[in-house]
Structure 1
Amino acid sequence: MKIGLMGAGAIGQYLLKNIENSEKLTVTSVFVRNIEKYKHLEETFHVKLFTDIHEFLKSDIDIVVEATNIETVEQYFRTIIKEKNMMSISIGAFSDAALLETAREADSHKLYLPSGGIGGLDLVQNARALGNIDSLTLTTRKPAASLTDEALTEEKVIFEGSAKDAIEKYPKNMNISIILSVAGIGTEDTKVVLVADPTVDKNIHNIEVAGGFGQASFTFVNDPLKENPKTSALAALSIYATLERLEDNIVIG
């Protein structure tokens, strides 16, 4: 599969390094804002750099893999999905219901949303298939300094409510609530609890889901990506692994 990569930051370069050793995948084109800044990538990874989105989409690629930011997705998504399948890590852009609806209504191309820093989404989607989810709750615990300026000595719940309200109040901290809501019962019916905890140094996510199928609970303790401590290693890995699975003859789940 020939990949057109958007972005050459920490996740973009993580993908370039790992895909270089893949037998199934190859990055042929990279969309960047500044060619001079990333000129070295052409020689190191044998890719062609683009700053024009239309020329980028015309290049020899099968899928666009976005590893940039919410603003870039908002700017280019509608153009991309008309031309190519797309995988996006900037899940926050799809808190915009209109943008998500554009993806749902796309005639011939698909939007792939990697699971990011969590798992268990296959179970959530299975339970949703026949309306078998009664409740879906995400509790996210983060280092206190990343959520508040208060000098906390013990944990503090700084938000409890719907995913919809959480996304509006903390748009840069809610990627996981968005992907969970899309997989499950929507932002209005998904509950989110956000905890600032001075005793932890990693992000911890707990998902609880219950319904006609039974109940399940998942906990994820995420190590940061070495190249960028603000990004979870699992989020970067989920992009690479999802791409690999697209080329598999055996589909699990």
Structure 2
Amino acid sequence: MTQPTSTARRMALIGHGAIGSEITACLDRLGEAYSLSAVLVRPGRTAPAAVHDLDALIRTAPDVVLECAGHAAALEHCAPLLRAGIDVVLSSVGILADGQVMADMVEAEAAGGGRLLLAAGAVAGLDGLTAAALAGVEAVTYVSYKPPAAWRGTPAQQIIDLDHTEEEVVFFEGTARDAARDYPKNANVAISVALCALGADRTRVRLVSSRRVDDPLGVIEAHGPFGRFHFDILALAAASNPKTSALTAYSLLQCARLDAGLPILLLPGAKAGFATTRA
């Protein structure tokens, strides 16, 4: 087993579902299980280094916590962790479409010194978009293509016939904030894109039911004085949960291992109106 070094970062997890269990399995494969201080799960659930309340997790003194348990858990736990001076890598980025939530995170960071971090690895192009924002970005669009079955259980099934014979049907066009409000389980990438440049109200989103894809395909387009770019991200679904990208767990983990997250509240889009409008 790899031996810990003086610079090893201690990490904890919130949640041990599809994402969390992949992270702990990867740590085992890397020989870095020693870096895991705690995994917060509900009473009655098991996990490596399991704890069942946030105070117990904080007492293990992690340097960084990886949130991988969904919006409700993120809303409950992120601000207290930031106030305790602990960095948080946020998976459920869609919660930040709510202006009050963003304001709470700003206050919590200022009070405790913990950083709220965005793991860019699962969404290619976010680093380039953040750089382009310095030169000036005029327009950003995020398009999410998913097979019809992937949209079942969302408002899409009330808007279109998901047994459609057309190759593609666009059923939503609006802002990233609107997408987060109407499709909260599908909005994390849209809000991540919005944070990196123009904010929730100027970033455009289209959601598409497509028979051309078998797995989720995301497309980011932007243009401005810097030029233009177009990124395609074919995010193969995790074997244990078809609603989760297989790359998400590795993105969160690598962010924590390398201390390479994007500080969310310093991103251009976070200063472009996120905290001014309650979703």
User: Shorter-normalised TM-score: what interval?
Assistant: 0.7 to 0.9
Deviation at 1:198, TM superposition (A): 2.6
Indicate whether 1:10 and 2:18 are aligned. yes
1:97-246 mapped onto 2 (5 Å cutoff): 97-105=99-107, 106-107=109-110, 108-115=113-120, 117-130=122-135, 132-147=136-151, 148-149=156-157, 150=161, 151-154=163-166, 155-246=168-259
Q: For 1:116 and 1:69, how far apart are their aligned partners in 2? A: 18
Deviation at 1:197, TM superposition (A): 1.0
Gaps of 5+ in 1: 248-253
Deviation at 1:12, TM superposition (A): 0.6
Indicate whether 1:32 and 2:34 are aligned. no
Q: What do residues 97-129 of structure 1 show as CA deviations (whole Å, max 9, x unaligned)?
A: 222233334121101121264210111111112
CA contact (8 A) 2:150 2:243 kept: no
Larger mean CA deviation between 57-66 and 7-16 belongs to 57-66
Partner residue of 1:70?
71
Higher normalized helix content (fraction of residues): 2
Deviation at 1:22, TM superposition (A): 4.8
Partner residue of 2:88?
86
Over the residues paired in the alignment, what is the CA RMSD in angstroms? 2.0
Deviation at 1:146, TM superposition (A): 2.2
After superposition, the Cα gap between the structure-2 partners of 1:193 and 1:12, relative to the gap in structure 1 and judged at 3 Å, is same
SS at match of 2:138: strand
Indicate whether 1:96 and 2:103 are aligned. no
Q: For 1:128 and 1:187, how far apart are their aligned partners in 2? A: 14
Q: One-letter code of the match for 2:36? A: V
Q: For 2:206 and 2:70, how far apart are their aligned partners in 1? A: 24
CA contact (8 A) 1:116 1:176 kept: no
CA contact (8 A) 1:3 1:25 kept: no
Q: For 1:3 and 1:186, how far apart are their aligned partners in 2? A: 30
Partner residue of 1:251?
none
CA contact (8 A) 2:143 2:207 kept: yes
Deviation at 1:2, TM superposition (A): 0.8
Q: For 2:227 and 2:34, how far apart are their aligned partners in 1? A: 39
CA contact (8 A) 1:118 1:234 kept: no
Q: Share of identical aligned residues, percent?
A: 28
Larger mean CA deviation between 116-125 and 180-189 belongs to 116-125
Gaps of 5+ in 2: 1-8, 261-279
Deviation at 1:136, TM superposition (A): 0.3
Larger mean CA deviation between 152-161 and 17-26 belongs to 17-26
SS at match of 1:129: helix
Deviation at 1:60, TM superposition (A): 3.1
Larger mean CA deviation between 22-31 and 86-95 belongs to 22-31
Q: What do residues 7-27 of structure 1 show as CA deviations (whole Å, max 9, x unaligned)?
A: 111111111111222559711
Larger mean CA deviation between 24-33 and 165-174 belongs to 24-33
